[in-house]
Structure 1
Amino acid sequence: MHNNATGKLTNLSGAELRRIVVAIVIGNGFVAYDFTVYSFSAVLIGNLFFPSGNPASSLLLSLATFGAGFVMRPLGAIVIGHIADSHGRKAGMAVSLTLMTLGTWLIACLPTYASIGPAAAVLMVLARLMQGLATGGEIGPAAASLMESVAYRHRCFMVSWRGASQGAAAFAAALVTASTTALLSPAALQSWGWRIPFVLGGLIGPVGWYLRRRMPAVPRQPGGRLNPGRLFVEHTRPLVCGILMTAATSVGIYVTVFYMPSYLVRTLHRPPAISLLTACLSGLVIFVVTPLMGRAADRFASRKTLQSLFFVASMAAAWPVFWMLTHGVGDLAALVIITAYVALAVNNDGANSVLMMEAFPPHRRAAGLSVIYGIGVVVFGGFSPFFVTWLINVTGNPMIPAWYLMAATGLTLVALNRFPEQAPAEGAAYASQPPA
């Protein structure tokens, strides 16, 4: 199999490719699960760690803490991305898994505000910062490992499994949260039940670490010591355009999947079980649809073609979707509408990530992609639940999420058009066997 990093052939069997996919899907899914399960428990965590006489204020503080985890993503992107580029992809992913496991166990074992006062809120923020550091450094090494394992014509499909793992993580996080909500009494949930999703996440960490230790190693990428300033000077256009391109995908997943349960309960006054079921189905749709879209994207000469079509379609659909949700459709219809929109709007991870990584030399791929997502998700995604909630409170307009999504998607389309697309290396499109 052709390896663009070295120009040599890397012979990986179908079994080895499957081990790479399984190790990265489980590890990346664990990181995404632990980082996002917080959002499904935002209301409870707000009451337990940020008590206030106003429930809306408690929720806003909880969502701000959720967003605080994104502040550390750029630092994690630079530090862990450099480790992955200079010491191997597996080394970078081992660091991110370790940090995420520590942060998750800290949340799972943390005493509440009622027990230790303001220290509880401070420690919760510290745990989220640790998780943010881990998440910021996970995306680049995971995606680069997948892309460098196969030939050019299979890259979008292979890399799409990283995005699919986020769907699986959202499904698992929502399912566990919905189950604890349905099976436990409100008193039990408030007392100890909210910890169950975090404990389960902490137990998955060692499994992911073990699988990644056993996966075949992708060759190290030779290169000098990473200087963040040099990275921006030498790759200004792909970095700036790439950051802007994250607007639609990051706002899409954080608004339509992770924020949606709070929106349905607090703004539209729907039952909590139904709202979390929506997140479960949305995660499942992402897990199934993303690889299908990755395989389809590999059939086009340009990485941009299919992305552009779906971004235009999702921008056009945003307003009708939220108009129907806010005008009294039944719970079953709401489930169908939301999951259909998620399938349309949050499915481009394979082609999107590959387009970005191909704009960087091999020894800058992991750091480059990590920095793009680290900064882009901070700017556009991480605080979007907070801003949407605040804007709804200020304006009283429940259609705010639709306008937010449309603006983000429009910005992404402009950046996508300006992003520098690289032609494939000679012979790369005809190399080797497809992934098993």
Structure 2
Amino acid sequence: MDHSVTSTLQSHPLQAQDYKTLALASLGGALEFYDFIIFVFFSTTIGHLFFPPDMPGWLSQIQTFGIFAAGYLIRPFGGIVMAHFGDKFGRKKMFTLSILLMALPTLCIGLLPTYATLNYAAPILLLIMRLCQGLAVGGEVPGAWTFVAEHVPPRRVGLACGILTSGLSLGILFGSLISTAINMIFVGEAMNTWGWRIPFIIGGGFGFLAMYLRRWLKETPIFIAMQQRKSHESTQRLPVLTVLIYYLPQTLLSMLLTWILSAGIMVVILMAPIYLQQQFGFSATESLQANTCAIIGLIISCTVYGVLADKFMLGKIIIIGSMIAVITIAGFYFSLEHHAELLFITYPLAGFGVGIVGSFACFMVKAFPTAVRYSGVSFSFNMAYAIAGGITPLLLSVFTNLFSKLAPAFYVISLFALGAIIGIILLINKHITKEMT
């Protein structure tokens, strides 16, 4: 890191400009995350409308999740390209471009004709829009973490990453609230005709608003200082190659943490409402209301763990937080069969447990130096999310139907146990996060 910048920023508290940056970055990230995940909240309706009516429900659901997964599979390409130019020419430009690339296809999904009108062209167009969304979000999340981490004092990086991750979670909350309202207002043919379109149109419109607001963001002082010193010697090759050659351990650990993050967010938060309906007979409204409570727990927890990551050793925080996640997630899933009345207690607690992922970003941005930070975080995050995010919905859908309805529980619990092991590794190898300290 640039030590001349560090020495002046090391200990001062967050200032008005820092909070402005966090607010604008979180707002844009929230809206972009909303645009990306609203798809899963309406996957049942989308599967019904965009595939042949005589197709078995389970098959259309799997194909819908396949299109959802395609957005994850394309993310590494978008992330690597945006991160490359972000490391070369600045974070702000790519940070603003990503939200435009998300808003357009989200709006288009809300306006797409269905299978009844276009036949097989309808799911193909849906897939193309989903791929465009994946390209955009591949640059957004790593770019947002990098952007805010380089704007705040080094001893406030955990807080900044925690707040931003909470902001991203706010996008999920917004999606859940919109989904709950739409399911309460529209039923039957009204939902199939145009009710499902409203969330996508709203998301596209707010995306353009967020892009407009980001005009007031400034380039990060750390990146400007690096440019002024002409310190690009280490990035004459492609930044991503520098990452893989010199920072492979950090990359692998970041990928494992992303795998855990993806499981917590996708399985416990995004997929759970449909899971509750299909496997345990909860109504759509009840499932989404409980989901809203869980997301609130997640938002609070991300910020709490971000604050703790600044005050205590990151490895210890990850160990403790991961074990809390194991306990709360187990309590949620294993209580569904015989203690369904506890849903509004166990599910919010599980959401709070998942919030340890708010500290994972703190590790990622500290693990890589300024010259390749965007590329390092982007490659690690997007490659892992593409693999885990791409196959998780399909695998769990199959395993749940063929083996056990508790398959999601065993999957997520195992991964958060892995998180505790990674925390131990970080305690043993303290030098891994030295780049930003």
Q: In the TM superposition, what is the alpha-carbon distance from 1:62 to its structure 2 partner?
A: 0.8
Q: Confirm or deny: 8 A CA contact 2:37 2:175 kept in the other structure.
A: yes
- Cα 1:87–1:184 change in 2 (3 A) is same
Which is worse superposed, 150-159 or 7-16?
A: 7-16
- Cα 1:106–1:422 change in 2 (3 A) is farther
Q: Residue 250 of structure 1 aligns to which amino acid in structure 2? A: S
Question: Which residue does the alignment assign to 2:383?
Answer: 375
Q: Residue 356 of structure 1 aligns to which amino acid in structure 2? A: M
Q: Confirm or deny: 8 A CA contact 2:73 2:387 kept in the other structure.
A: no
Q: In the TM superposition, what is the alpha-carbon distance from 1:321 to its structure 2 partner?
A: 2.4
Q: In the TM superposition, what is the alpha-carbon distance from 1:424 to its structure 2 partner?
A: 7.7
Q: Confirm or deny: 8 A CA contact 1:12 1:149 kept in the other structure.
A: no
Equivalent in 114, 117, 125 of residue 115 of structure 1: 117
- Cα 1:237–1:316 change in 2 (3 A) is same
User: Aligned runs of 1:18-417 on 2, under 5 Å?
Assistant: 18-51=19-52, 52-219=54-221, 220=223, 221-222=226-227, 223=232, 224-225=235-236, 226-300=238-312, 302-330=313-341, 333-349=342-358, 351-395=359-403, 397-417=404-424
**Is the partner of 1:111 in helix, strand or coil?**
coil
Q: Confirm or deny: 8 A CA contact 1:242 1:415 kept in the other structure.
A: no
Q: Residue 43 of structure 1 aligns to which amino acid in structure 2? A: T
- Cα 1:209–1:3 change in 2 (3 A) is farther
- Cα 1:75–1:201 change in 2 (3 A) is same
Q: In the TM superposition, what is the alpha-carbon distance from 1:21 to its structure 2 partner?
A: 0.9
Q: In the TM superposition, what is the alpha-carbon distance from 1:218 to its structure 2 partner?
A: 0.8
CA distance in 1, matches of 2:347, 2:156: 30
Structure 1 or 2: more helix by fraction: 2
Q: In the TM superposition, what is the alpha-carbon distance from 1:68 to its structure 2 partner?
A: 0.9
- Cα 1:80–1:101 change in 2 (3 A) is same
Q: Residue 67 of structure 1 aligns to which amino acid in structure 2? A: A
Q: Residue 242 of structure 1 aligns to which amino acid in structure 2? A: S
CA distance in 2, matches of 1:228, 1:336: 44
Identical-pair percentage: 25
Structure 1 unaligned regions, length at least 5? 430-436
Q: Residue 247 of structure 1 aligns to which amino acid in structure 2? A: W
Q: Confirm or deny: 8 A CA contact 2:148 2:161 kept in the other structure.
A: yes
Q: In the TM superposition, what is the alpha-carbon distance from 1:410 to its structure 2 partner?
A: 2.8
CA distance in 1, matches of 2:3, 2:23: 23
CA distance in 2, matches of 1:237, 1:254: 26
Give the TM-score, by structure 2 length.
Answer: 0.91
CA distance in 1, matches of 2:8, 2:432: 20
**Residues 151-202 of structure 1, C-alpha deviations (whole Å, 9 max, x = no match):** 2221100111221012211111011111011011321110011010101100
CA distance in 1, matches of 2:15, 2:371: 26
Question: Which residue does the alignment assign to 1:433?
Answer: none
Q: Confirm or deny: 8 A CA contact 2:98 2:139 kept in the other structure.
A: yes
Q: Residue 14 of structure 1 aligns to which amino acid in structure 2? A: Q
Which is worse superposed, 4-13 or 415-424?
A: 4-13
**Is the partner of 2:336 in helix, strand or coil?**
helix
Cα RMSD of the aligned pairs, angstroms, is 2.2
**Residues 325-358 of structure 1, C-alpha deviations (whole Å, 9 max, x = no match):** 122522xx21221111110123332x31121221
Q: In the TM superposition, what is the alpha-carbon distance from 1:304 to its structure 2 partner?
A: 1.5
CA distance in 2, matches of 1:313, 1:381: 23
CA distance in 2, matches of 1:21, 1:345: 22
